[in-house]
Amino acid sequence: MFKPKVFILDVDLHGVINITRAFIDLLANSDKGALINTASVCGFHASAGTAYSVAKFAVKGFSEGLIKDFQDNAPHLNVHCVMPGFVSTNIDRLSAVQGYTVQKGRPPTEQLVNRWKGKTGQNNPDNVRIGLPAPDAAKIILNGVENDQWAILVGDDAVALDKGIRSLPLGAAYPLGKLSKAGNISTKIAKLGDPTYYVGRQSQLKMSNL
């Protein structure tokens, strides 16, 4: 059953709202400005815990509300909502190490850590990265801001997931697989949005000639 982790909502949702409040006057008094919020593809469908997904859904909705508000009251400002897919950083591995240590009462073995690294291409003999390289993600975000895109989808997986989830009615994604296998659900939704998509494809920069 849903037991909300309040600290996650405090950081991932209320933190965004509080930071916006802190800088809104400064932005409004500027000649031109941009507010950039970071949501996630977990804001498309619940895939990383209820509280986290709720927060990311809410950041997306909050950003959209700001777009309307800014158009009416501060048209010289832009709002951008960044929605990254899987970006190849150390976050997943470090989170896995911490979670394993808390649950098991001991740190994971080096062999297990290397296996986790291999899944993101960080220790893969073929150098095949599942996640989008961080420099490419940064370039997509910067280009999106420069091109006045309110929704900045980062990665092929984000683009395909966006199309797939919009093709489904509310809640229809979850019979596609058990929520405990969120990655499988995400892949199935992505393939609904783009049948040519496959995990690890990184063609967004090439397709857009950015």
Residue 191 token pair: 């393939």
* Percent of all residues in the chain with a pLDDT value above 90, rounded to a whole number: 46
Tokens describing residue 182: 């969120």
What is the rounded CA–CA span in Å between residue 181 and residue 41? 15
Q: Residue 6's pLDDT is what?
A: 82
Distance of CA 200 to the CA centre of its chain: 16
Half-sphere exposure of 57 (CA within 13 A, CB side): 12
What are the CA-CA distances from residue 39 to residues 20, 126, 151 (Å)?
Answer: 14, 31, 10
Q: Residue 37's beta-bridge partner residues?
A: 81
Taking the CB of residue 2, how many other CB atoms lie within 10 A of it?
6
Q: Which helix (H) or strand (E) holds 153?
A: strand 151-154
- The helix/strand/coil state of 130 is coil
Entry pTM:
0.79
Sign of CA dihedral 101, 182, 64, 145: positive
Task: Using pLDDT thresholds of 50, 70 and 90, give the confidence band for residue 176.
Answer: low
| CA 75 to chain CA centroid, nearest Å | 27
Task: Give me the torsion for CA of 168, 58, 80, 87, rounded to 10°.
Answer: -70
pLDDT in tens, 15-73: 999 999 999 999 999 998 899 999 999 888 887 778 889 999 999 999 999 999 999 99
